[in-house]
Amino acid sequence: MKDTPLSNCERDFLLKAIEEKKRLDGRQTYDYRKMKITFGTDYGCCFVDLGKTRVMAQVSGELVAPKENRPNEGIMFFNIELSPMASPAFEQGRQSELSVKLNRQLERCLRNSKCIDTESLCVVSGEKVWQIRVDVHMLNHDGNLMDAASIAAITALCHFRRPDVGIQGDEVTVYTPEERDPIPLSIYHMPVSVSFSFFQQGTYLLVDPCEREERVMDGLLMIAMNKHREICSIQSSGGIMLLKEQVMRCSKIASVKVSEITELISKALENDKRARKAGGRCGFAESMPQERITALKMDKTSVEMTDVSDRANDIVQKSEAPPQTVPSPVVPIPGVGQVGQGLQNTWGLEDDEEEENGEEQDEKITEMEEEQHEKEESRGGDVVEISDSEEEEVVILHPETPDKTPKNTGSSFHQKMAATSKKRQKK
């Protein structure tokens, strides 16, 4: 089925919004959507959520004969499957342009950068080597498939354990997990892809485009990097003209994003390891009842319950005494009555603040960029949070939490408190 075209109204609206530095989901220009990394029961199975985009990667290994020209190297095989389940625009069977593009980019990102030690996958030189196969399935398409796929693939590779092999003379024995612990792959570095979309002939730039944004964009630039700030692959696509300065700027943004994502991945892996050691419920068994397989699922909202009373006391003590004035009816214009002095409305405050922030950033966007990255980096610490004690292998990234300047208002004070208390808890 061919994709239904975007209506002109929507297109104009999106472009206009982008011109005004606004995005549909309220993100800032350089923000990622909420990212979530989950693991299946098996080793080497990983789900990645990037907003509504959902991707599954499964790694499998088998013993095969090596390629003739590389007798003592294991074989890596990557495949991205675009099933029509993710979007009706994807056709089954036929190799579409998009699928070729994604597949090649993933290969370049993970194979050509030599992030996996293929020589360690050799069992008997020239006869038996491990073939590691990474299958990435798109479960739901809401834009930026490449980033989600690359994160899923590298996380799954890190998570994967291959059976141990013993060699006695000519005999090769593959041990079951019960006999010997399976061993992880040796991974040198973790390349992560970051996508930038360009609008209006490259005038505007967004990180992590969603599906709607992808439809109106002029072109895409994908940069794969690892946390050592080494670029593993760059690929521009779409008919856009880039300038050198833009590429350099993107590479700088990418390095910040990659370090954030890498941290998230390692945290997720760590959590999973802990959960497995503790023998808790993990993987599919746990994800089924929670409907985590599909993209439209309900997340539990985490509420801090441990030190509620302490904090309440804290707030009560620290807050200013309420104004002593007695509310009396005020009549601004004949026929209208009002009680109270019209104190500042704390409900709408958040929005106002955000707008202010946004405007400020608009003005200073050029000078502030550098600072912003640094800020983002420094914020990295409290970006990753453990949402629930039950879902230990789940890590949620909230990069879009607006960095508010604390004001003496009740609501923002509250947030600050919450953040600090969480930090404390982590330590």
Partner 1 sequence: MGNVVQRQTRGALRFEVCGNMAGLELLSDQGYRLDGRKASELRKVQARMGVFAQADGSAYLEQGNTKALAVVYGPHEVRGLRSRIRHDRAVINCQYSMATFSTAERKRRPHGDRKSTEMSLHLKQTFEAAVMTQLYPRSQIDIYVKILQSDGGNYSVCVNAATLAVIDAGIPMRDYVCACTVGFVDETPLTDLCHAEESGGVSSLALALLPRGGQIALLQMDARLHQDHLESLIEAAMTACKGVSKVLDEVVRQHLQEVSVLSGE
Which stretches of the chain bind partner 1, using CB under 8 A?
2, 69, 95, 97, 100-101, 103-104, 108, 112-114, 221, 225-226, 228-244, 247-248, 251-252, 255
Element (H, E) at 192: strand 192-199
| Closest distance of CB 226 from partner 1, Å | 8
Looking at the Cβ atoms of 250 and 268, the one nearer to partner 1 is 250
Give dist(CA 31, CA 416) in Å, integer. 21
Q: Is 261 helix (H, G, I), strand (E, B) or coil?
A: helix
Q: Is 187 helix (H, G, I), strand (E, B) or coil?
A: strand
Angle at 370 between CA 53 and CA 401, to 5 degrees: 40
Looking at the Cβ atoms of 146 and 225, the one nearer to partner 1 is 225
User: Which 8-state DSSP code applies to residue 299?
Assistant: P
Q: Are 290 and 177 in contact (CB under 8 A)?
A: no
Looking at the Cβ atoms of 77 and 175, the one nearer to partner 1 is 77
| Closest distance of CB 75 from partner 1, Å | 16
| Closest distance of CB 230 from partner 1, Å | 5
| Closest distance of CB 204 from partner 1, Å | 16
193 token code pair = 């892809």
Partners of 223 in beta bridges:
194, 234
Looking at the Cβ atoms of 56 and 232, the one nearer to partner 1 is 232
Looking at the Cβ atoms of 197 and 255, the one nearer to partner 1 is 255
Q: Residues near 39 by Cβ (< 8 Å), separated by ≥ 6?
A: 45, 46, 47, 159, 268, 272, 282, 283, 393
User: Which 8-state DSSP code applies to residue 322?
Assistant: P
Looking at the Cβ atoms of 253 and 395, the one nearer to partner 1 is 253
Range list of H helices, 303-395 = 308-318, 349-383
Residue type, 96: S
Looking at the Cβ atoms of 124 and 242, the one nearer to partner 1 is 242
Q: Are 195 and 207 in contact (CB under 8 A)?
A: yes
Looking at the Cβ atoms of 201 and 344, the one nearer to partner 1 is 201
Q: Is 32 helix (H, G, I), strand (E, B) or coil?
A: coil
Looking at the Cβ atoms of 237 and 361, the one nearer to partner 1 is 237
| Closest distance of CB 223 from partner 1, Å | 9
Q: Residues near 46 by Cβ (< 8 Å), separated by ≥ 6?
A: 37, 38, 39, 40, 56, 57, 58, 152, 155, 156, 159
| Closest distance of CB 364 from partner 1, Å | 25
Give the distance from CA 338 to its chain's centroid. 48
Cα separations (Å) of 80 from 40, 76, 87, 150? 18, 13, 14, 10
